[in-house]
Amino acid sequence: MEPPAHEPSTAIGDLGESAVLARILPRLAPGDAAHLGAGDDAAVVAAPDGRFVVTTDLMVHGPDFRLAWSTPSDLGWKAAATNLTDVAAMGARPTALVVAIAAPPSLDVGVLEGIADGLREGLTALAPGAGVVGGDLSASSVLMISVTAFGDLEGRAPVLRSGARPGDVIAHAGGRGDAARGLALLFARARDERGEPDAAAAAALRTEHPRLVAAQLAPTPPVSAGVVAAEAGATAMLDVSDGLARDARRIAEASGIGIDFRSAALGPDPLTALAGAEDHGLLAAFPADVPPPHPFEVIGVATAEAGVLTLDGAPVDTAGWDPYAGWDGVGG
C-alpha cells in the first residue's frame, strides 16, 4: 500500500508507539456513551441498562482482506461494520468500540491514519453516537485489525438465535449476494499474471462496478434495523456474515425449526443470494401475525422440520464461508 502522494512515507517503526497514537487518536471520537475514553489504562463506558452486549471480530491480511484491493479507509469502515451488525443482531444499539491493530513496523503510518478515518466515518454513518474508546498497537508480520464492540439493550430482552417457532416468517434486511459478486469480480479481474492482487485493476473495477465492489470492501449493513426488529417482536435474529443459508442453518438448529426459502423473494440469482457471504445483513424471524418492519423483506417461512433448509421445498447447500476450509496458511 503506497502512502498518499502528497505526504512523505513514514514507517510506523520509525515513529514509535507514542507518536503513532498521537497521529491516530485525534481522528477518532469516543462517542456519547463514554465517561472516559482513550488515554488511561481502560475506558469507562455507560451501561444504563445494567447490562451490555459485547462481541469481537478479527480481520487478517490474506484471508480477510488484501491491501492491494482495499483502501485504509475501507479497512476501518469494514472493521466497524462487521462488529456493529453483531451488536445489532442482538437487538442492541451500538455504543463503543475498542480497536487493536498489529502491523509490520515498515507499514506507512498513513495506512493507520486511514484506518482510523474509516472507523470514524463508518461509526458516523452506521451507528451515530457510538465511538472508539481505546485499543492497542503491536507489531506483526502482517496487518491485523481486531475490534471489540459494545451495545446497549435499552431495557429490551436480547434477541437470540433460539426463539423462532414453526410458522414464523423469515425476513431479511440488507444486501443478498452483492458482496460475493464483488469478491468474485476482484478474484477474476484484479490479479496479475502471477495471481497476486492488482491494485490498478481493483481501482478500475471500483469505477466499473462500484456497488458490487463496495459491498465487499466497505459494506453498509442496516445496523439500525436491529433495534427496529427487536421492538417489532422478532423471535430470533443474527448477522449474515458467512452466507445466508449457512447462517440461517444456525437459527434453524438453535430454534429447532426448518426454513423454506422462497426463490422469488431472493432475486434473479437465488443460489448466489443463499451462498454469498459478507453482506452483513440481518436475518430475523417474526410471528406470522407481525408484519416485518422496514427494511426487512419476507424471504421464507419457518417449518417444523428441525434443521432442514429448503428452497421452494428442495434441499439447499448450506456450506457458505468457513475461514479454515481450503486455507493453506499463505495470505494473498
**Which residues belong to the annotated binding site for Mg(2+)?**
41, 55-57, 86, 136, 239, 242
Q: Where is 172: in which H helix or E strand? A: strand 169-173
Rounded Cα distance between 206 and 200, Å, is 10
Chain centre distance of CA 279: 8
Starting at the earlier edge strand, list the strands of the sheet with 309-311. Answer: 236-240, 281-286, 169-173, 297-303, 258-261, 309-311, 314-315
Residues 302, 257 contacting (CB under 8 angstroms): yes
Residue numbers in the known binding site are 41, 55-57, 64, 86, 135-136, 161, 239, 241-242, 278, 321
Residues 101, 112 contacting (CB under 8 angstroms): yes
Q: What are the residues whose beta carbons fall under 8 Å from the beta carbon of 158, sequence distance 6 or more?
A: 53, 90, 91, 92
Residue numbers in the known binding site for substrate are 64, 278, 321
Residue numbers in the known binding site for ATP are 135-136, 161, 241
Provide DSSP, 56-116. EEEEEBTTTB-TTTS-HHHHHHHHHHHHHHHHHTTT-EEEEEEEEEEE-TTSBHHHHHHHH
Task: Cell numbers for 44, please give them.
Answer: 469507562
Rounded Cα distance between 224 and 217, Å, is 20
Provide DSSP, 186-235. HHHHSB-TTS-B-HHHHHHHHHHSHHHHHHHHS----TTHHHHHHHHT-S
Task: Cell numbers for 59, please give them.
Answer: 480481520
Rounded Cα distance between 284 and 108, Å, is 42
- 45 SS3 class: strand
